[in-house]
Structure 1
Amino acid sequence: MEQITEISIKEISLSGFRNQKEPVSFALGDVNCVTGHNGTGKTTLAHAVAFAFYGVTYFGEQKADRLISSESAGCEVKVDFTDQNGVLHSLIRRRFGSKTELIFDSFSVRQEEINRFICDKDTFLCILNPFYLTSFGEAKGRELLFRNLKTVSSEQILSAMSDSFKKPLEGLNITEPAEMLSDYRAGIRRCDEQLRILEAKRATLRETVQANNAECDKLNEQAEVSAATVHILKEKQFEGLNLEDFRKRREQLSEKLTSAVNSPTAVKAAALEERLKAAREREYVSKFSGEIAKLDTELTSLKGRYSALKQKLEGLKPGSKCPTCSVTLTDELYTCAAADIASELHKVIDSANGLAETKKEMLETEQKAKQTFDRFKKDDTEKLSAELDELRRTEDDSPEIMQREIEEIDMLLSRGLLSDEEFSELESEERSLAGLDAQIKKLREYSVDAQITALNEQAAAFENDKRRYTEILASLEEYVSKRTELLAEELKMPNVSITLFEPVKTTGELKSVFRFTYKGRNYAALSLSERTAAGLELCALMRRLTGLNFPVFIDNTESVAHFDMSSLSCQTVFLRMVKNAPLSVKSMNQATEPLKKAS
């Protein structure tokens, strides 16, 4: 079936619908005025049209049960209308209980079919009801408008832009500019974050260099103090000394010492020294140590034997068993056994006393032998020392004297005139100075130039990315601006403006909105008459965008002093409250009373 793009209602028939319990019909013309007191059924006609086509109220509410008269089991609404070709159609919707019946031109149809060959519910009600579109939430309102707006191609938008804005967008597939704006802003933020990180790293390296320089200065100060101390001690160390003379004297002594070591006297002295050393190291060797050790072992054994016999004797009593033969001791046997053990004890004591006396004699002999050895050792040592001293006295320059002089010269060449404390201080300061010089060298060799160069290259790359992203972002904003301008051309109305995009103040990103103004004023601040006028412009916009010419029912028109009929190019029904007046429908200046029941 051909889509119906124009509807002109000829007659509305009601039965059991709201306050119309009995069947009643109303004929409509191009311009109609429905008047009456509150509750007489003016808005019922608007509800009836919405119910017949979509089963909802004039305001799009799914409240079909409330539309049925409280005194009826169900309701029926019939709308007779002509289309753009002047063909007359009939649409009937019946509702009884939970069952709904929809008949179009005598054929039972489904709601989906009405939606297909007329339009969807929201589009129809936006044209029928001047207040319907403004009641939408942001998502629903934007979706409805964008669904009916003509598509603005990317080529159209780019052609409206200057070359400076078009160039950064070359090669980009612009599908969702809002998402792309968000992505590129995020890219710029990432670049800024990376640049902050890189700058922090460079600052850290610069701080490291400054810290190294400060440490170098500090170490240089310490090195200067150490160097000054070393200089003072060095000047004192060899002050007034002819080191060259001492070196020559040492060389002469070394040559003489080499010759002296190989002379007959030196050889004899070396032999005497060896003999003297051997005499001093000679130790006494005992001849009786083995015998004395053997006596100690025997004495230890006798001591154990004595302790065992004494224990037996002390444990021996009449009536006890003999520890030797295990016979029970009578008084007589006890006396004999005790006497035997006592006799044995005396033998052990006598043997021990004999061994102790022998050991004493051996120790005395051992002592005398050691004394004789020590006397001979002393005599030999003194004799050899005297011979060696006499031999050295006969020499003009003994090797020992020359060696001592060489050592003294070496000490002088090393320490100079410094005391032990001063020489220790000199060595300590020189070590400290060497350590300080090594630290200073290491700090001076430490370089961050390569690291800073690498960071600078990274920063330059991020700066280039940021610059490119910024150029693309500016071009995308211009793209969105031009698209908005082109879309706004379609949304242009005499007094009403619709805002679909709005920049976020903090970030500059575009956010989706759905906002109306009338003559520059926010919709929420408008009076009823201003809202009515704004709504009529919105109805006209929807007719223009969709190409659908459907009736408009204007409620509460008593609040509007004047209507510009030239802007109402569709079938119009004014709903006006007249106090204490019955329901009346007038068309084209002709009063129309309720008609007879529809046949």
Structure 2
Amino acid sequence: MEIKFNQLNLQNFKSHEDLEVKFGDLTKILADNAKGKSSIGEAITFLLYGNDLMGSKLDPSPVTYEADNTLVTLHLSVDDGELLLGREIAKGRNKFYVNEVPSKATEFNEVVEKLFDKDLFLSLFNPNYFFTLHWEKQRQMILKYTTAPANKEVFKELPKPQSDKLSVLVKKHSLIELDKIHRSNKTKLDKQYIAAQSRTKTLKEQLDQQAPTVPLDSLNAELSQLVKERNSIEAVTDKAQMVNGRINILNNQINVLTQERDDIKDQFNQLKSEQIQDTCRVCHQTLQDEAIDAVKAEKEQRIQQVKLKFQKSVDERKTLEEELKTLEYVDVSEQLEKVRLLQEKINPIEYEISKHKQFEALKEQVDTAQTNEKETLESLNESIFILDAIKEFKAKEAELQVKKVQDLFKNLSIKLFEEVKTTGENKPTFIIQMDGKDYMKLSFSEQTRAGLEIRDVLSEQSDLIVPCFVDNAETITKFKEPNGQLIISRVVADKELEVVAE
């Protein structure tokens, strides 16, 4: 979009009681000092925003004469259309006009905002305005119209391993997310790796301390021989102990049966001497002949049962005594002593063998700890590699972005990033230099030329062309004319105000 100023009318604006300014492609404002040259540029920024050329609030009231009101109107062309804007101060109140129609402040501001952003317009109109902004705002304005390097562009500049790794990872997560993930991983894995190293070291020390001194093969061979001897003796003693045990069992059983036989004898004698009762034990009535016979028969039956029980006990005892005669007690005390002595030799060997088993178990723990340490280190290194790749990506991205921005300028150097010494990472900044000097160290004419180059870049990148007002042009011997209309203010000694449109 191209905007051109056609005509500016001032009534009671600062030193101008009634002034009409017609603009051409080049408009020269010539006069001695204090003749109101700068006020013409200020009238335009006051009309649009109520500010001066540097964006500060402006009081346009006359100081050398009295007036009831102040009125500024500007006729301008917007591409193929035309627009007439006006601002008036009457009795301390602002009034606004759009195409001569009284309008509310919000309506007026909407019309202006549709034309251009305030900071952008002031930077294009006044070459010195841009440098009054905070560096972050300056940076934002320059980068707003500069496309950031695409990931593919940056990947091409990275070493292949880093490029291959990141190009896969960014399909699932953004670089910001990856940075958060792997910074968190690194913090966690740093601690885990230290713990894993400590555990491996401790287990290795235990392994060195518990290493067996006697070879396992030698121990097994010696143990095998001793166990063979012990088992051979125990085979004999076990057999003997079975016989001896059987003898003891038989003797016990015979003693029990003998006691049982004697008890049955006593029971038989008591039963035999038992008198036949001729009265009932319950009702005490005298028993009849048949009843007495029944009592005698019952006694005889009990006697026979006792005899049978006695005979059974005698027969069982004889059977056991016959078996006992076939057995002979074997004295194995000597053999048991040999077994005890052999076991005393076996015990320390088995202990040494158990140390081998413990040693092997400890070796497995060491292997597990070393594997865990290795895997933790690999995971840690993976996160470090990714973080380094992201850091390199950002550095390359910044480098490419700087190149894109720098390619827009011919005489100025633009610094968008600076390195943080503690981390080595880049942080945003915005520094403009000309011939190696920062903007604040430039002369006024150099600052103006720098501003003109900035405003042309902004104009080209934003596709917005507006008039440019160069104040105090007499201090600049030569400069590249900006795109769009050029309005220059120049001091000419002893000259009254003259506006020349070409």
Short-chain TM bin: 0.5 to 0.7
- Structure 1's 193 and 510: CA in aligned 2 closer, same or farther, altered over 3 A? same
- Structure 1's 158 and 196: CA in aligned 2 closer, same or farther, altered over 3 A? closer
1:16 shift after superposition: 2.5
Instruction: Identify the match of residue 450 of structure 1 among 353, 357, 368.
Output: 368
Q: Which amino acid aligns with 1:205?
A: R
Q: Distance in 1 between matches of 2:166 and 2:444?
A: 47
TM alignment of 1:75-114, pairs within 5 A: 75-85=70-80, 89-109=83-103, 110-114=107-111
Instruction: Identify the match of residue 449 of structure 2 among 522, 533, 549.
Output: 533
The structure that has the greater radius of gyration is 1
Answer yes or no: is the 8 Å Cα contact 2:127–2:452 preserved in 1: yes
Q: Distance in 1 between matches of 2:178 and 2:424?
A: 12
Indicate the residue corresponding to 1:212 in structure 2: 206
**Unmatched 5+ residue regions in structure 1?**
221-408, 414-426, 590-599
Kindly report structure 1 stretches of 4+ aligned residues shifted beyond 6 Å.
Answer: 431-441
- Structure 1's 79 and 539: CA in aligned 2 closer, same or farther, altered over 3 A? same
- Structure 1's 174 and 507: CA in aligned 2 closer, same or farther, altered over 3 A? farther
1:571 shift after superposition: 2.0
Q: Distance in 2 between matches of 1:587 and 1:159?
A: 56
1:467 shift after superposition: 3.5
Instruction: Identify the match of residue 140 of structure 1 among 121, 127, 137.
Output: 137
Q: Does 1:15 align with 2:8?
A: no
Q: Does 1:467 align with 2:385?
A: yes
Q: Does 1:563 align with 2:481?
A: no
Q: Distance in 1 between matches of 2:174 and 2:155?
A: 20
TM-score in terms of structure 2 length:
0.62
Indicate the residue corresponding to 1:35 in structure 2: 31
Q: What SS is found at the alignment partner of 1:567?
A: coil
Q: Distance in 1 between matches of 2:156 and 2:355?
A: 69
Indicate the residue corresponding to 1:67 in structure 2: 60
Q: Distance in 2 between matches of 1:77 and 1:16?
A: 9
TM alignment of 1:194-343, pairs within 5 A: 194-212=188-206, 215-216=209-210
Deviates more, 1:24-33 or 1:517-526: 24-33
1:24 shift after superposition: 2.7
Q: What SS is found at the alignment partner of 2:45?
A: helix
Q: Which amino acid aligns with 1:52?
A: L
Indicate the residue corresponding to 1:496 in structure 2: 412
1:129 shift after superposition: 0.6
Q: Which amino acid aligns with 2:458?
A: M
1:32 shift after superposition: 0.9
- Structure 1's 174 and 493: CA in aligned 2 closer, same or farther, altered over 3 A? farther
Indicate the residue corresponding to 2:500 in structure 1: 587
Q: Deviations over 1:173-217 (max 9, x none)?
A: 689xxx955554555544544453343223312431354256548
Instruction: Identify the match of residue 546 of structure 1 among 449, 462, 467.
Output: 462
Answer yes or no: is the 8 Å Cα contact 1:500–1:513 preserved in 2: yes
- Structure 1's 485 and 461: CA in aligned 2 closer, same or farther, altered over 3 A? same
Q: What SS is found at the alignment partner of 2:74?
A: strand
Instruction: Identify the match of residue 122 of structure 2 among 118, 121, 125.
Output: 125
Q: Which amino acid aligns with 2:22?
A: A
**Unmatched 5+ residue regions in structure 2?**
214-333, 339-343
Indicate the residue corresponding to 1:329 in structure 2: none
Q: Which amino acid aligns with 2:196?
A: R
1:67 shift after superposition: 2.2
Deviates more, 1:445-454 or 1:433-442: 433-442
- Structure 1's 452 and 163: CA in aligned 2 closer, same or farther, altered over 3 A? closer
Instruction: Identify the match of residue 6 of structure 1 among 3, 14, 17.
Output: 3
TM alignment of 1:172-183, pairs within 5 A: 183=177
- Structure 1's 174 and 567: CA in aligned 2 closer, same or farther, altered over 3 A? farther
1:41 shift after superposition: 1.6
Q: Which amino acid aligns with 1:67?
A: P
Q: Distance in 2 between matches of 1:479 and 1:538?
A: 23
Answer yes or no: is the 8 Å Cα contact 1:13–1:77 preserved in 2: yes
1:130 shift after superposition: 0.5
Q: Distance in 2 between matches of 1:200 and 1:172?
A: 27
- Structure 1's 24 and 103: CA in aligned 2 closer, same or farther, altered over 3 A? same
Q: CA RMSD of the aligned region, Å?
A: 4.8
Q: What SS is found at the alignment partner of 2:3?
A: coil
Q: Deviations over 1:317-357 (max 9, x none)?
A: xxxxxxxxxxxxxxxxxxxxxxxxxxxxxxxxxxxxxxxxx
Q: Distance in 2 between matches of 1:539 and 1:585?
A: 27
Q: Which amino acid aligns with 2:190?
A: R
Answer yes or no: is the 8 Å Cα contact 1:168–1:472 preserved in 2: no
Sequence identity of aligned pairs in percent?
20
1:124 shift after superposition: 1.2
Paired residue total = 388
Answer yes or no: is the 8 Å Cα contact 1:212–1:443 preserved in 2: no
Q: Distance in 1 between matches of 2:209 and 2:77?
A: 98
- Structure 1's 551 and 542: CA in aligned 2 closer, same or farther, altered over 3 A? same
Q: Which amino acid aligns with 1:32?
A: K
Q: What SS is found at the alignment partner of 1:130?
A: coil
1:475 shift after superposition: 4.4
Indicate the residue corresponding to 1:391 in structure 2: none
Deviates more, 1:436-445 or 1:74-83: 436-445
Answer yes or no: is the 8 Å Cα contact 1:187–1:469 preserved in 2: no
